[in-house]
A and B are shown apart, each in its own frame.
Chain A
Amino acid sequence: MTVGSKVKQAVSNLKGIKSTLEVYTLQTGDEETSSAYKEALVVINEVLNDLEKRVQTLELEEPQFKGL
């Protein structure tokens, strides 16, 4: 596995976590819990942005693995 595909895997893993947390944010009736989830979602979005930028550079370096 190349570095690029590993990073892409991490990105999709993180996206999965993000969507599950989003569902729980809506489902839970408790204010404190949902605000904790929201805080975590903000951080996850930051990390996702960084990683996606990195994926773009990696795709330039390894053009044969471009796309999915």
Chain B
Amino acid sequence: MKEWIDVLIRSASLFFLTLLLVRILGKRQPSRMTPFNFVNYMVIAIIAALISVNLINPVWGSIALGVWVILPVTLDYLALKSKWIHDLVNGKPTILVKDGKVMEENLIQVKCTGEELLRELRSKNAFNLADVEFAVMETTGDINVMMKSDKKPVTPFDLGRKVSPRPEPQTVILDGNILNEPLSNLGLNQEWLKVQLENMGVTPDNVFIGQVDGSGDLYIDLFDDALQVPQPKVKELVFANLEKCQADLMSFALDTKDPKIKNMYLQNANKIEQITVKLEPFLLR
């Protein structure tokens, strides 16, 4: 009878102790660990399990547990300070493909077959080896791929187009609750939000998610999916209106016979056209 209480208390306390120790070890994802990190976690798990079912002396076990936690933490700290120790502990990334050519010696060194390399490349959407400029195996065993520059996805930079900077959106309503912190991050308050919701004709408790984007427009998703809400199209409208204005000014210029007035209209039409071009990235993209 006494023994099971012993195991119960031991397991419960080890549960929280192990939780704490693993938290101290860091936030690394299991799939992003180096092989040695994996071994480290395994040893901690096994020692914890052995102490928990009373197979080894708890004092010895705790010492072993302490060593397996303190050493990696110290090494991690030293690796932060020194590049040499970092390379020693974590290893270096291995280049597998360079200038479009597979480095066979490096493949052998990391014990990766050609089949495995191709599989990893395919999982990075590089089905054609000819499209790969550079591939590197990280210390975690992941393979990262850089495609040849003509096979890369097109960016606005490639197209020579200017796009407006987009600060991250803030979630201001979640599950019908108004969140004050994101609102004040944007320099807004609850009153503003209530006015916006009133304009859309919805109550705050009907909103599942409400986000405010960088330009201050509110996007909402309702619990009631049958309800149609107007989505912000104000910027598009402003752009269309600017274009209309320019067209109007041009037609006024055509209508009038007075050369001075005609000139005034034409100049103003030009000005509006220029700001339309300038504002296009901000209003439409």
Q: Is the CB of B167 within 8 A of A20?
A: no
Does B181 touch A at the CB level, under 8 Å?
no
Given the contacts A7-B252, A10-B249, A43 and B187 also touching, CB distance less than 8 Å: no
Q: Which of B119-127, B198-206, B264-272 contacts A (4 or more CB under 8 A)?
A: B264-272
Does A66 touch B at the CB level, under 8 Å?
no
Measured CA separation A20–B275 after assembly (Å): 15
Nearest chain B CB to A54 CB, angstrom units: 7
Q: Is the CB of A33 within 8 A of B215?
A: yes
Q: Which of B51-59, B130-138, B141-149, B236-244 contacts A (4 or more CB under 8 A)?
A: B236-244
Q: Main SS of chain B's interface residues?
A: helix
Contact of B238 among A20, A27, A32, A36 (CB under 8 A): A20
Does B274 touch A at the CB level, under 8 Å?
yes
Q: Is the CB of A50 within 8 A of B278?
A: no
- For B241, the chain A residues whose CB sits under 8 A away are 13, 16-17
Residue of B nearest to A36 (CB): B282
Contact of A10 among B237, B245, B278, B282 (CB under 8 A): B245
Does B102 touch A at the CB level, under 8 Å?
no
Instruction: Please classify how large the interface on chain A is, using the bins under 10, 10 to 19, 20 to 34, 35 or more.
Output: 20 to 34
Does B35 touch A at the CB level, under 8 Å?
no
Q: Is the CB of A13 within 8 A of B215?
A: no
Nearest chain B CB to A46 CB, angstrom units: 7
List CB contacts (< 8 Å) of B31-51 with chain A.
Answer: none
Q: Is the CB of A10 within 8 A of B248?
A: yes
List CB contacts (< 8 Å) of A1-57 with chain B.
Answer: 3, 6-7, 9-10, 13-14, 16-17, 20-21, 24, 27-30, 32-33, 36-37, 39-40, 43-44, 46-47, 50-51, 54
Q: Is the CB of B214 within 8 A of A43?
A: no
Q: Is the CB of B272 within 8 A of A47?
A: yes
Q: What 0/1 readout, one digit per residue, does chain B (198-241) give for beta carbons within 8 Å of chain A? A: 00000000000000001110000000000000000011011001
Q: Is the CB of A39 within 8 A of B244?
A: no
CB<8 Å pairs between A and B, sample of 17:
A6-B248, A13-B241, A13-B244, A16-B241, A17-B241, A20-B237, A20-B238, A29-B186, A30-B164, A30-B165, A32-B164, A33-B214, A36-B278, A36-B282, A40-B275, A47-B249, A51-B268
Give residues in A with beta carbon < 8 Å to B: 3, 6-7, 9-10, 13-14, 16-17, 20-21, 24, 27-30, 32-33, 36-37, 39-40, 43-44, 46-47, 50-51, 54
The 9 A-B residue pairs whose C-beta atoms are closest, nearest first, are: A27-B216, A40-B275, A47-B268, A10-B248, A28-B215, A43-B275, A20-B238, A43-B271, A17-B241
